[in-house]
Amino acid sequence: MGTEKITSTQKYEMIAPDGGYAHMVNVAAMLMLTFSVVPVSSFALIFGPFVSQFHDETSSVTIVTSVYVTLLNLTGLLANFLLQKLSYRKVGLIGAVLYVIGSLASIFVTDLTFLTISYGLLQESVMDLQMRWLFYLEPVINNIKILDCTVLKDAWYWNISIGLAVSFISETNFMAIFPVSLTQMGLASSQVTLMMTIYFISDLISRVIFSVVTLIWSFSVRLVFLINIILTIIFRLVFMFELPFWFLTILTGILGISRCLIQVLVVMVIAEEYSNVFTSAFSFYMVFNGILSILVGALMGSMTHHSHVLYIQTSILVLCAVPWTCQYIYNYRKTGRITHNHNKAF
């Protein structure tokens, strides 16, 4: 936000923040997110034909994607340490340099191992370093040096964090394997491109609409997340049947909305349930996310048929839907309310 200077005529004049340098930081952050986050959504389209020359395309895509998700989450602890020792911009610069090295190395990949190192290790792990300096605030860094482990004593926290982790992992891997599955279903490349465009457009529009809705309507974020997970399971199962192209297109748009609600609401659920210990709760969630990514990635990497991978990605959502539903039923029978304020315990 710009600072204000009072002139001799008592009029206010808007001054560019930091002499205009802050605008350059904003532009750099925008470019960073564009060139690092967006290609993740197109990984299968870019590298799928290449890895199919040496390995099975379905298992290769899931392996690299799982490595990406794992390192993206586990490097959060490294980012926390660096942010305590270095400035935000230095950490972002380190991540940017390493990301460029990984991007250049990806041009010369010759096999799956090389691709996993250049894309999964260098690019995606340091992408977390670039993003962290955007999200952390000064009071958090100054006042919270050590994670509060008391949140791990709350059984409901394990239920919530594991449910969020499996949902995020399922969505990330589904996004990576989705275009491969469409191709193996017999759709032409033009049809796959159209459906992926609809998928991401519906995701984008949903984010805008959801931002407006949150301003005018108060609701339980976790309950909305649970309902979305249940509907996602249903729509993904329907998608696996032989259906007309127009119906698949509609389902693709719905799945794009589901992607929005999963990715946007993850942080909001933790903030709603554990606002008093948000930093610790979110950090441990990311650790769980990284560990589960390894396990799920190893399971899906052993499968070669796209339908088997889709079934696994859909089935693990049950690990969120069923325990969360049971917790809501327990809360209702005990207190007469389905929601529970976990902040009272901290």
Q: Which of 169, 62, 72 is nearest to 121 (CA)?
A: 72
The amino acid that residue 40 corresponds to is: V
What is the rounded CA–CA span in Å between residue 5 and residue 11?
A: 8
H or E element in which residue 197 lies = helix 189-216
| CATH 1.20.1250.20 intervals, the chain | 147-346
What is the rounded CA–CA span in Å between residue 13 and residue 11?
A: 7
For every residue of 209-226, DSSP letters joined together read: HHHHHHHH----HHHHHH
What is the rounded CA–CA span in Å between residue 195 and residue 251?
A: 10
What is the rounded CA–CA span in Å between residue 7 and residue 226?
A: 55
User: Within the chain, how many helices (H) and strands (E) appear?
Assistant: 14, 2
Task: Calculate the alpha carbon distances from 18 to 89, 123, 194, 283 in Å.
Answer: 14, 30, 43, 31
What is the rounded CA–CA span in Å between residue 90 and residue 269?
A: 31
What is the rounded CA–CA span in Å between residue 284 and residue 203?
A: 27
Q: Are 41 and 65 in contact (CB under 8 A)?
A: no
pLDDT tens digit sequence for 321-339: 999 999 889 888 887 776 6
Q: Which of 170, 188, 181 is nearest to 306 (CA)?
A: 181
pLDDT at 141 (0 to 100): 42
H or E element in which residue 5 lies = strand 3-6
Reading the block at residue 268, the tokens are 């909001």
pLDDT tens digit sequence for 275-318: 888 878 888 888 888 888 778 777 766 665 556 677 888 888 99
Residue 17 region by backbone torsions, left for phi larger than 0, else alpha for psi between -120 and 50, else beta = beta
pLDDT at 283 (0 to 100): 80
Q: In this structure, how many other beta carbons lie within 10 angstroms of the beta carbon of residue 289? A: 25
The answer to whether domain 147-346 has CATH 1.20.1250.20 is: yes
Q: In this structure, how many other beta carbons lie within 10 angstroms of the beta carbon of residue 45? A: 18
Beta bridge partners of 15: 3
Q: Are 40 and 102 in contact (CB under 8 A)?
A: no
Q: Would you state the torsion angle of the CA atoms of residues 301, 233, 215, 26, taken in this order, to the nearest 10 degrees?
A: 20
The amino acid that residue 196 corresponds to is: M
pLDDT at 296 (0 to 100): 77
Task: Calculate the alpha carbon distances from 226 to 79, 94, 121 in Å.
Answer: 30, 38, 32
Those residues with Cβ within 8 angstroms of residue 277's Cβ, 6 or more apart along the chain or in another chain = 148, 150, 151, 346
Dihedral angle sign, alpha carbons of residues 43, 46, 52, 54: negative
pLDDT tens for the 346 residues of the chain, in order: 444 444 455 566 666 655 666 677 677 767 766 666 666 666 666 776 776 676 666 666 667 777 776 776 666 666 666 766 777 677 777 777 877 787 787 777 777 777 777 776 666 655 555 555 454 444 444 444 456 678 888 888 999 999 999 998 888 888 877 887 888 788 888 888 889 889 989 988 998 899 888 888 888 899 999 999 999 999 998 888 878 888 989 999 999 999 999 988 988 899 888 888 887 888 888 888 888 877 877 776 666 555 667 788 888 899 999 999 998 898 888 877 766 656 555 5
